[in-house]
Amino acid sequence: MTTYTNFTVETDADGIALVTWDMPDKSMNVFTVEVMDELEAILAQTVADEAVKGVVFTSGKSSFSGGADLTMIRGMFSMLAEEKARDPASAAQKLFDVAGRMTWLFRKIETNGKPWVSAINGTCMGGAFELSLACHGRVASNSKSVKIALPEVKVGIFPGAGGTQRVSRLANAQDALQMMTTGSSLTPQRAKAMNLLHQVVEPAELVNAARQMIKDGLKPVAPWDEKGFKVPGGGVWTPAAAQLFPAAPAILRRESAGNYPGALAILKCVYEGLQLPFDTALKVEQRYFTQILQTTEAFSMIRSLFISMQELGKGARRPAGQPKTEFKKVGVVGAGFMGASIAYVTAAAGIPVILIDRDQEAADKGKAHSEKLVAEQIGKGRMTKEDGEKLLSLITPTVDYAALSDASFVVEAVFEDRNVKKAVIEAVEAVIPQTTIFASNTSTLPITGLAENSRRPDQFIGVHFFSPVEKMMLTEVILGKQSGDRAIAVALDFVAAIKKTPIVVNDTRGFYVNRCVFRYINEAYDMLIEGVPPAMIENAAKMAGMPVGPLSLNDEVAVDLSQKIMRASIADLGGASVKPQHMKLIDKMVDELDRRGRKNGKGFYDYPAKPAKKSLWPGLKELYPQKPAADVDVAVLKQRLLVTIALEAARTMEEGIVTDPREADVGSILGFGFAPYTGGTLSYIDGMGVKAFVALAEKLAATYGDHFKPTPLLKEMAEKGQTFYTRFDPYGEVGKAA
């Protein structure tokens, strides 16, 4: 047996070497430079050892591998920035060589002359699946934990270590393109049906089945290295391909509005690569990969959606020196839709929950929400009956506040009314121990004001969940003026326990996400009042990269909620805080027309009974004189929608509401889907350059109003040539690429 830092190699009596990947001090195996060096050494060792007849490659952890390590990705960008500064001419060549390291290591495995079989026992993503594809045999366990994917497109790049070439030579082109351009996960059964796996076996049989493939005489040659190999479906020059390839870019454009260079590169790699010998095709892929790595989109998406998201998820903002909280019991007060959903995700994390409401019937109704969600999960095969029963057994509905006496964390999720919340805070604090942290789930009420009702404001914090809680990945942790470090640490531990990504924000009306969301919706009101056809507003938003148009989004959050927020704003801040035309529009929608949004089946859209789809309410264009479509510049509509949100994000940084640019970026994408290809609100500004953004904002302000005026901070940053990631450097390493 040979032991490396990250691998062990054990050769049995049959001459089969079992290579087990098990990285110390990591919960999941990932590719690092050290891992690739060791893999190369193992390859050389097994090739040189005549006793070795073949290799079975597997993981010693419950998952197989998550792909590349974020430090390696960051290192690649740091290297590129340093090389560009030192020698711009050679920077791309250096990146090309680094980007090809994995490609040619995997090709070496594929052509080493001895059979390799990958035994996949859990999540197998990105580079790990590309390594498996370079093995001569692939076996996966039929466990529910096995998920196979090439998800790189979701972070702005694409499978650049042979993935585009091997998948398109094993599966038919349409399935291959679908898998890679969406980054979607495959079950082992689906992967086998696509010809990406040879066998799916019981977990206990996994390594034996892999060994058996070698004993049965598995050829150490990839199909494409055999004479006479034909691509599934006949390749590029067939009638079927003549239908697929011209349509593919159009379909991609419909889905992504041409905003994702990495997705388009997949089509190019497959179309060009299938016409070339395999090694040349790998070189084409390597060139495209190098090109994509240099795009603003790839840099911004990798930074926000891969690096920052992992850092925030692992507690980048957690105060140092605070012990980690193990949650033995959590209380949720308020069993309405939000409270019931919070109880569900808490129980799904294996934590017992006390769900309290004013009467037993209301508390039971809250638990029934979880029963419905569990039934849906079982129906879809995503949960076993036993797991469902276990989850539900963790939720105790009651009216008795005394049940909270040993809870380590209590979330209040009652109606958005200061007096109702005051009564709950007092009732909870009467029974909980001094060590329990109290969190208020509120979307609009400032936490500092609510904490005035608490006897222990340092133990009081805001935790803002987004609806539907079980699907939305983001949670805002809101600090009141007196919230202490322990309260922050416990709140972040809770968010991590329920597998959400937290952002920490200081107290303000609307916090971070809702402030940005209402800018987006308000810009749509302006457009409507100007006479821009409603369909153009919604389509421009989607073309700008937003998941839903602002009018559709307003229907989802409820038009009468907008009315409440606007009226509260006028009451607290005065009439100038809301545009009179906006108030008039929303009052008409709610009070005169009873169009409150999706919840009452009519808002900016009409919601007919299923299966009919929603459609824009025809009466909308009767409210204001309509401009001819030809007189509306779609490019300007797109700019207005993105710039107004980005300006609000910049204001929150200037006001010290958000203090870390990673949180502004990740929060905007996870919270309301801000155009992901930009990397988030602040990366959108940094990506075009603060100077260019200020000029664009000034141009928009001249035509569309003062709310587009760049802030003093932005003007100062433009003058100094700063970015948000240098000015508010989250890594404390200004001068290095982050």
Residue 627, CB half-sphere, CA atoms under 13 Å: how many? 17
pLDDT(485) > 50 = yes
Q: What is 514-586+626-727's CATH number?
A: 1.10.1040.50
Report pLDDT for 442.
81
Q: How far is Cα 432 from Cα 662, in angstroms, rounded to an integer?
A: 35
CB contact at 8 A, 429 and 458: no
DSSP 8-state symbol, 159: -
Mean of all residue pLDDT scores within the chain: 93
pLDDT digits (tens, 9 = 90+) for 565-611: 899 889 888 988 899 999 999 999 999 999 999 989 999 999 998 88
pLDDT(723) > 70 = yes
pLDDT digits (tens, 9 = 90+) for 371-425: 999 999 999 888 899 999 999 999 999 999 999 999 999 999 988 778 889 999 9
Q: Facing residues of 117 across strands?
A: 56, 137
Of the candidates 311, 323, 315, the one whose C-alpha atom is nearest the C-alpha of residue 486 is 323
Of the candidates 169, 168, 170, 128, the one whose C-alpha atom is nearest the C-alpha of residue 149 is 128
Q: Facing residues of 68 across strands?
A: 31
Beta-carbon contacts of residue 586 (< 8 Å; ≥ 6 apart): 525, 559, 562, 563, 566
Per-residue confidence at 733, pLDDT binned at 50, 70, 90?
low
Tokens 């070795």, residue located: 52
pLDDT(363) > 80 = yes
Of the candidates 595, 593, 584, 594, the one whose C-alpha atom is nearest the C-alpha of residue 554 is 595
Sequence letter at residue 369:
H
Per-residue confidence at 736, pLDDT binned at 50, 70, 90?
very low
pLDDT digits (tens, 9 = 90+) for 182-225: 999 999 999 999 999 999 999 999 999 999 999 999 999 999 99
Handedness of CA 701, 728, 517, 575 (dihedral sign): negative
Active site residue 136: no
416-424 long-range contacts (CB < 8 A, ≥24 apart) are: 416/442, 416/443, 416/444, 416/445, 418/445, 418/449, 418/450, 421/445, 421/450, 421/453, 422/450, 422/453, 424/333, 424/334
Helices then strands, counting H and E runs in the chain, come out as: 31, 19
Beta-carbon contacts of residue 88 (< 8 Å; ≥ 6 apart): none
Structure tokens at 404: 């909270």
DSSP 8-state symbol, 445: S
Q: Is 31 helix (H, G, I), strand (E, B) or coil?
A: strand
Residue 53, CB half-sphere, CA atoms under 13 Å: how many? 14
CATH class held by domain 2-294: alpha beta
Which of the residues 136, 369, 464, 582 is marked catalytic?
464
Report pLDDT for 240.
87
CATH fold for the domain made of 330-509: Rossmann fold (3.40.50)
Q: How far is Cα 334 from Cα 346, in angstroms, rounded to an integer?
A: 14
Domain locations in the chain as residue ranges? 2-294, 330-509, 514-586+626-727
Handedness of CA 49, 50, 52, 53 (dihedral sign): positive
**CA 595-596-597 angle, 5° bins:** 100
Domains 330-509 and 514-586+626-727 equal at CATH topology level: no
Q: Is 27 exposed, middle or buried (0-12, 13-18, 19+ CB in 10 A)?
A: exposed
Tell me the whole-structure pTM to 2 decimals.
0.91
